[in-house]
Amino acid sequence: MTQKKLWKAAAALLLLCVAVGFAACATSGMTHEEKVAERQRVAQFVADAVANRDFKIEVDRVTPQRMSPRILSYGYGVTVKGDSIDSYLPFFGRVYRAEFGEQNGLRFEDRIAQWQAGQTKKDRYVVELLVRRHMEILYYQFDIFDNGKVSLMVRSDNRDTMYFTGEMVTE
């Protein structure tokens, strides 16, 4: 190939890349108004879910107290419905006092002993739960944001503290 043909091929390739880039930007899925409406819908859903004590959180990342962060596979989460909690979370770390036969992480269904919820900022709710499980008291603190993102801290006097991040199921 001659020098001139190489330049033409390079120019054509560059033009194609620019055209594809513009086409990708032009076909955004939602208009600005639709995005604003979706944000408002999610914010209202979050507010109602916290007020009604009825929400499900799916977590995708964990940060154990003494270990590096890990990405979790699908399926871990917490469901709160009224005065009950269904926790299906992994546990990585040190257990200071274990119950006989209890080796299943933070996986249980139980009643919530104490509930406290409030809006600390315009876009953030804090929900604190206390669960008594046999010889252990577990403290769950959810930081739930208007966009559905959630940070969760699980603390116990018998185990290391665990931090989770994920999203509220809004459908």
pLDDT in tens, 8-35: 777 777 777 776 766 666 555 778 888 8
Give the residues of the chain that fall short of pLDDT 70: 1, 19, 21-28, 96, 98-104
Specify the pLDDT at position 160: 86
**Residue with token string 């944001």:** 145
Residue 139 · residue 128 · CB < 8 Å: yes
Specify the pLDDT at position 8: 75
Specify the pLDDT at position 68: 81
Instruction: State the distance between the two ends of the chain, measured CA to CA, in whole angstroms.
Output: 57
Domains of the chain and CATH, by start = 32-168 (2.40.128.410)
Strands 84-89 and 124-133: unpaired
Both tokens of residue 64?
Answer: 């154990």
Q: Tell me the β-bridge partners of 64.
A: 162
Show the CA angle centred on residue 99, arms to residues 104 and 112, nearest 5°: 70
Specify the pLDDT at position 171: 75
